[in-house]
A and B are shown apart, each in its own frame.
Chain A
Amino acid sequence: MVDWRIYEHPILEFDRGEEVTIYLDGEPMKAFESETVAAALYANGLREFSKSIKYRRPRGFFCAIGRCSTCMMEVDGVPNVRTCIVMVKAGMRIKRQKYLAEYLSPILNLMKLPPQVYMRLMTRPGIIYKPAMMVMRQLTGLGAFPKKVLDPPPQNQGAQGEISTEFLIVGGGPAGMQAAIEAGQRGISVVIVDDKDRLGGQLVKQTHTFFSDIKYAAGKRGFKLGEEMISQLDQLPNVRVITETSAVGYYPKEDIMLLKGPNNTTLKVNAKKYLVATGAYEKTLVFENNDLPGVYGAGGVQTLLNVFGIKPGNRGILLGTGNVALMVAYHLIQAGIEVAGVYAPSFRRVRGYFVHAAKIQRHGVPVVTRHTIVKALGRKEVKGAIMTKLNTDYSHVPGSQFKVDCDFICIGVGLNPAYDLVQLFNPKMVRSGVLGGFVPIRDKTYRFAENAYIAGDCGSIEEATTAVLEGGLAGLHVTEALDIRSEEISEKITEYEHALEEDRSSPFSAGLKTAMNEITVDDIMEVLT
């Protein structure tokens, strides 16, 4: 039986919990309680999780954090479940979603219809719509309707109903956690929700030591920093932590945040103040076959590797030379996986910290700039990549193409601030290249809407240390806005502000300070009205 799990790792130990059996299309598979369904299936060698809706292309997982929706399968009778954020349970029955015989797909692929036709296909006359939909639904990978109405969630399960609180924090990464700690320590009643099974955000997969001057983080491994914050939160009885629950909507009229928990449970929360600390989404690239199983986000690979201890493949390449790509390359090498090269289109030198790049090169891995990927090779999964050299205008240098053998391709080309939940508060959004994408205008207290605050990557793509500091500041400002003031709080605010200032003064943060100043105003309400 294939097993892609890593049982011996130089620096990590994987506590996988109890071994259980799950079933994929009736076939038993070995899984562990601490794994997500997608991780368990991947460990058993599954690469194709779904078929795409129109061209029925094979799709694997991509982000591994519930963002891209290519890992959807039928789990215990429920279609379209994102298997990468659902935890394994003994006896779980997983099915690949139905799609009518694969022989149809070449024919349908030939019908290259312009999008405007495709969207209206068979919607008229009304009489053919119903039968047509039944057929179409079979053709797409969207799964079959459940045979019976789903059971209502048992009363004692998950978080349900309606609650009120003083401070609701969405996102349990470093930013959200630090805000909860600061506000919680000062007596505010806090609810913090995260869609993962544990708090920590991106920190849970960072197994390397942070080097930073900041006393909160320097010299610690990322996930250890996260664990320390969690144990601080555990000591605060007025902070309620809700995991495996995501914020799916904010309704301004009712002033209600709608949360979705496991098994279709919903919880409505009304809070006096909200903090959006939802982090970021990974960027990707457009190239031929960019959706082939084996093309993964660097963060997704890091999750698989460092959180679940599962090898993504035997030999991979990385695209991008920012810190994320360099770190992931290093983590792969640590786990004994061959890295064929790190490639980036950039013409400047390597964007990440030089030490990271040097570490990788010492292991004989080429770090190559001025190159990009043209195509992923393979029919069902990645078998290789075609790379090309670039001219200064980013056109391909003719005749410079070469093939790299690999069974996975990791894309680490940066992050986009999570823009969606933020926008439900009707903020003023601006686009900033330096900050990573669309971010809301805010004031010095991190307030971006009447009762909402922002911190961490969703407000500007920076680092874990800055996320901690911004989160701490937002937590303190919310405390003040809830009329709890003291000398101590103002001193703490000044302390945080100094640390942030220092953090943003490093040569790597060039432009950051200016960009932050541009989106920070004195009176946010003036901007919004």
Chain B
Amino acid sequence: MKKIVCRCHDVTESDIEDAIDSGYDDFESLKRITGITTGQCQGKTCMDLARGILERKTGKPVTQTTRIRSPIDPITLGSLVKSTAKKK
């Protein structure tokens, strides 16, 4: 029975724990190896849960959020292309 942490990429609690055990024990590495916070919802569900697991396993507080980049919500490529094309 699965305990889902990241719904977008189907990352489970044990995936996160395994990754931490294999040495990815800071938030940025954990993000890169498991894909958490990089799905369609951009971490709105998983960030807080993963942070909790990381803190529980390492005993160290997570004091930084992960880097956020625009766009924060999926948009069609077309809408971006169009807007730059217009400028020229």
Task: Determine the residue in chain A with the shortest Cβ distance to B1.
Answer: A288
Would B63 and A420 count as touching, CB distance under 8 A? no
Q: Is B59 an interface residue (CB 8 A)?
A: no
Would B65 and A80 count as touching, CB distance under 8 A? no
Known: A68-B41, A152-B82. A248 touches B72 (CB 8 A): yes
In the complex, chain B residues whose CB is within 8 Å of the CB of A70: 7
Bound complex: CA A289 to CA B1 (Å): 6
Would B2 and A55 count as touching, CB distance under 8 A? yes
Known: A57-B10, A67-B44, A288-B2. A119 touches B35 (CB 8 A): yes
Would A80 and B19 count as touching, CB distance under 8 A? no
Q: Is A315 an interface residue (CB 8 A)?
A: no
Q: Kindly identify, within residues 420 to 439 of chain A, every residue whose CB is under 8 Å from any CB belonging to chain B.
A: 420-421, 423-424, 429-431, 437-438
Bound complex: CA A52 to CA B53 (Å): 22
Bound complex: CA A288 to CA B2 (Å): 5
Q: Is A260 an interface residue (CB 8 A)?
A: yes
In the complex, chain A residues whose CB is within 8 Å of the CB of B75: 248, 258, 260, 264, 266
> Can you list, as one digit per residue, whether each of A238-282 has a CB less than 8 Å from chain B (1) or not (0)?
000000001011110000001010001110100000000000010
> Can you list, as one digit per residue, whether each of A484-520 has a CB less than 8 Å from chain B (1) or not (0)?
0000000000000000000000000000000000000
Would B72 and A80 count as touching, CB distance under 8 A? no
A266 to chain B minimum Cβ distance, whole angstroms, is 5
Bound complex: CA A150 to CA B75 (Å): 13
Bound complex: CA A366 to CA B34 (Å): 40
Known: A150-B78, A286-B3, A289-B2. A246 touches B73 (CB 8 A): yes
In the complex, chain B residues whose CB is within 8 Å of the CB of A416: 44, 47-48
Bound complex: CA A72 to CA B73 (Å): 13
Total B residues in contact with A, Cβ cutoff 8 Å:
50
A249 to chain B minimum Cβ distance, whole angstroms, is 3
In the complex, chain B residues whose CB is within 8 Å of the CB of A419: 47, 65, 68
Bound complex: CA A246 to CA B41 (Å): 14
A373 to chain B minimum Cβ distance, whole angstroms, is 11
Q: Is A290 an interface residue (CB 8 A)?
A: yes
Would B63 and A268 count as touching, CB distance under 8 A? no
Would A249 and B1 count as touching, CB distance under 8 A? no
Q: Is A399 an interface residue (CB 8 A)?
A: no
In the complex, chain A residues whose CB is within 8 Å of the CB of B40: 69, 72, 80
A423 to chain B minimum Cβ distance, whole angstroms, is 4
Would B63 and A114 count as touching, CB distance under 8 A? no
Q: Is A479 an interface residue (CB 8 A)?
A: no
Q: Is A284 an interface residue (CB 8 A)?
A: yes
> Can you list, as one digit per residue, whether each of B12-47 has a CB less than 8 Å from chain A (1) or not (0)?
010100110010000000000111000111111101
B47 to chain A minimum Cβ distance, whole angstroms, is 8
In the complex, chain B residues whose CB is within 8 Å of the CB of A72: 40
Task: Determine the residue in chain B with the shortest Cβ distance to A59.
Answer: B7
Would B3 and A288 count as touching, CB distance under 8 A? yes
Would A287 and B72 count as touching, CB distance under 8 A? no
In the complex, chain B residues whose CB is within 8 Å of the CB of A291: 2, 4, 7
In the complex, chain A residues whose CB is within 8 Å of the CB of B18: 114-115
Q: Is A356 an interface residue (CB 8 A)?
A: no
Known: A152-B82, A260-B79, A286-B5. A250 touches B70 (CB 8 A): yes
Would B72 and A429 count as touching, CB distance under 8 A? no
Task: Determine the residue in chain B with the shortest Cβ distance to A375.
Answer: B1
In the complex, chain B residues whose CB is within 8 Å of the CB of A150: 76, 78
Contact of A258 among B5, B63, B71 (CB under 8 A): B71
Bound complex: CA A248 to CA B1 (Å): 35
Bound complex: CA A490 to CA B68 (Å): 36
Q: Is A121 an interface residue (CB 8 A)?
A: no
Task: Determine the residue in chain B with the shortest Cβ distance to A284.
Answer: B45
Bound complex: CA A250 to CA B79 (Å): 16
Bound complex: CA A433 to CA B17 (Å): 23
Would A268 and B44 count as touching, CB distance under 8 A? no
Contact of B79 among A62, A149, A264 (CB under 8 A): A264
Bound complex: CA A529 to CA B58 (Å): 31
Q: Is A231 an interface residue (CB 8 A)?
A: no
Contact of B64 among A250, A281, A420, A429 (CB under 8 A): A429
A-B CB contact pairs (8 Å), 22 listed:
A52-B4, A52-B10, A68-B7, A69-B41, A70-B7, A80-B74, A114-B15, A116-B19, A119-B33, A150-B78, A248-B70, A260-B79, A265-B79, A266-B80, A268-B83, A286-B5, A289-B1, A419-B65, A420-B42, A420-B72, A429-B65, A431-B62
Instruction: With A266-B75, A266-B82, A283-B48 given, name 4 new contacts (CB 8 A).
Output: A68-B7, A69-B8, A286-B5, A416-B48
Could you tell me which B residues sit within 8 Å of A by CB distance? 1-5, 7-11, 13, 15, 18-19, 22, 33-35, 39-45, 47-49, 52-53, 61-65, 67-76, 78-80, 82-83
Q: Closest 10 interchain pairs by CB?
A: A249-B70, A54-B10, A288-B1, A69-B40, A248-B71, A423-B68, A69-B41, A249-B71, A291-B4, A248-B73
